[in-house]
Structure 1
Amino acid sequence: MDFAAAQEKKTGQYPWLIFSGGQGGDETIPEGVAMKQYALAHGAHPDKCLAEKKSQNTYENMAFSKKILTRKQIDLNKGLFSTSDYHTFRAAGYARYVGLHIDGIGAKTSNFFIPNAFLREYIALMANHKKAHLIAILLILLVSAVNFLVGNGLQLF
Structure 2
Amino acid sequence: MLVFSGGQGSDETVPEGLAMKQYALAHGAHVDKCVTEEKSKNTYENMAFSKQILATKQVNLQKGVFATNDYHTFRAAGYARYVGLKIDGIGAKTSRFFIPNAFIREYIALLANHKKEHIIALSLLLLLSIVNFLINNGI
Name 1:64's counterpart in structure 2: 49
Identity of aligned residues (%): 76
The alignment partner of 1:83 has SS state of strand
**Structure 2 residue matching 1:34: 3-state secondary structure:** helix
1:21 is aligned to 2:10: no
How far apart, CA to CA, are the structure 2 residues paired with 1:152 and 1:38? 67
CA distance in 1, matches of 2:134, 2:97: 45
Which residue of the other structure, out of 43, 55, 59, is the alignment partner of 2:28? 43
User: Matches of 2:138 and 2:88 in 1, distance apart?
Assistant: 53
Correspondence list, 1:107-146, <5 A:
107-146=92-131
Alignment partners' CA distance in 2, 1:112 and 1:38: 24
1:85 aligned to which of 44, 67, 70: 70
Structure 1, unpaired ranges of 5+? 1-15
Deviation track 1:67-99 (CA, whole Å, cap 9, x = no partner) reads 110010000000000001111111011101111
Q: Which has the higher contact order (CA 8 A, sep 6+)?
A: 2
Residue identity in the other structure for 1:141? L
TM-score when normalising by structure 1: 0.87
AA aligned to 1:121 is E
Aligned to 1:10: none
Match of residue 32, structure 1, among 17, 20, 30:
17
One-letter code aligned to 2:86: H
Residue 126 of structure 1 deviates from its aligned partner by: 0.7
Q: Which runs of 4+ in 1 moved over 2 A?
A: none
In structure 1, the residue matched to 2:59 is 74
Q: CA RMSD in A?
A: 0.7
Corresponding residue for residue 4 of structure 1: none
TM-score between the two structures when normalised by the length of structure 2:
0.98
SS of the residue 1:54 aligns to:
coil
The total of aligned residue pairs comes to: 139
Greater Rg by CA = 1
SS at 1:51 equivalent: strand
What is the CA deviation profile of residues 92-136 of structure 1, one whole-angstrom value per residue up to 9, with x for unaligned ones? 111011110101001111111111111111111111111100000
Aligned residue for 1:52? 37
